[in-house]
Amino acid sequence: MLDIKFIRENPDVVKNACAVKGFDDPTDAILALDARVRELKTITQNMTAEKNRITREIPAAADKAPLIARSKEIGAEIAADMAELAQKSDELNDLMHRVPQIPDANAPLGRDDADNIEVCRVGTPREFDFAPRAQWDLLDMNNWWAPEKIAKLCGTRTYALMGEAAELQLAIETYVIQKLIQKGFTLVECPALTKPETIFNAGHFIGADMSVMNDDVFMLTGTDRCLAGTSEIVMNSLHTGEILNEKDLPIKYAGFSPCFRKEAGAAGRDTRGLVRVHQFNKVEQYVFCTPEQSDEMHEHLLSNLCEIMQDLELPYRVIANCTGDMGFNKVKMNDVEAWVPSENTYKELGSCSSIGTFQARRTNTRYRANDGTLQFCATLNNTGIAVPRALVPVLENHQNADGSVNIPKKLQPLMGGRTKIGGAHK
């Protein structure tokens, strides 16, 4: 969320952010409520002071009745004003949680993903001398999954990898984790089980009513828990209420966890195969830093994912997401998309996001600057790798005519030295 002082002093900036991101504009209502809340606070403070003065005068007064009557009258007025103050404060709190983060001045303007801008392409899509198979065909012919059986057991949008495909997925996860550790990230094996307020504090949902999350988040009925859609959720709250030291920043975490998403808003999209499933594993990069370090950290996280694409020997491109596609809590965002031969297009494998102090204000995560002042941390996140989604371009780009799949060189040591899996070599 934003600082109310910033909103008071920069209403036009906030209005513009709402407009370019495509959200309703609560700025005027916030300013009106803020003024009334501050007025009520002053009124109740003054009236409480008067009531206390009268209370002190009552013991020495010759005629106590008028003072007692006035004290009761003031008490009733204070109670009414306090009730209004509580109501207005709740309304203000809800609207404050409806203000989107201010986008970076250099972010492309646009309404949706059609207005995103391609920054660069790396690698050339492979020209096959045979008709390349789609992910599900490769999985079928190599007995690497059993979708109908798993759907009967576990429901739709679930999967179970088997044999060499499961080994390959584990190798990808392990490789990325080891790479990030070598780059100074601290590995955090995060629980997927968390509390709704932890998800709320990550700032992905609008308003103060946490029931808005029910369409996207698996709530565990009868408990105070739910299932997180990314380890970002837990890592964002790791330092809730703490005061860090500037000399210790940036703090870089590599979170690994199973992730759970209802995907309620994605009906009809990528329902076949491994792209859009209810449960998956993800390695997530997450950083706490000073606002001044944020741009450097954004490039660091982005370059890490680009290196991983190259290590997996995948053609990819980097996208600058426009204001209407970057989401509620982001300052700027870059998608990294890998080439998927069966669809003849690039598909998103990760999103690098700068959040500014938006999340840290919700968790009250601050640092003591070198000049002694307390400041809110900036936070950033980017995918390290998400599987089985990333397995799709790996299988399709590295397939052979007989249905076998070449293993990228960087992964071969984690696959027992094998250079290919599946197909006729079995």
Q: Which residues are catalytic?
A: 261, 276, 348, 351, 389
Of 391, 328, 382, residue with least CA distance to 350: 382
Cis peptide, bond prior to residue 191, ω within 30 of zero = no
- Cα gap 151→280, rounded to integer Å: 15
> Are residues 284 and 180 in contact, defined by beta-carbon separation less than 8 angstroms?
no
Inter-residue contact 239 to 365 (CB < 8 Å): yes
Residue 423's Cβ-side half-sphere holds a number of Cα atoms within 13 Å equal to: 16
* Cis-peptide, bond into residue 100, ω within 30° of zero: no
Nearest to 255 by CA among 321, 316, 202, 319: 202
Q: How far apart are CA 407 and CA 414, in angstroms?
A: 10
Residue 411: name the closest of 422, 403, 419 by CA. Answer: 419
For residues 408 and 314, give the distance between their C-alpha atoms in angstroms, rounded to a whole number: 9
Paired tokens of 320: 């600058």
Using DSSP bridges, classify how beta strands 186-189 and 251-260 pair: parallel, antiparallel or unpaired. Answer: parallel
CA 44 to chain centre: 40
10 Å CB burial of residue 10 (0-12, 13-18, 19+) is: middle
How far is Cα 360 from Cα 241, in angstroms, rounded to an integer? 9
Spatial contact of 256 and 387, defined as CB atoms under 8 Å apart: no
Whole-angstrom distance, CA of residue 389 vs CA of residue 347: 10
Structure tokens, 216: 């996207």
Name, in order, each residue with C-beta under 8 angstroms of 151's C-beta and a sequence gap of 6 or more: 158
CA pair distance 74, 76, nearest whole angstrom: 5
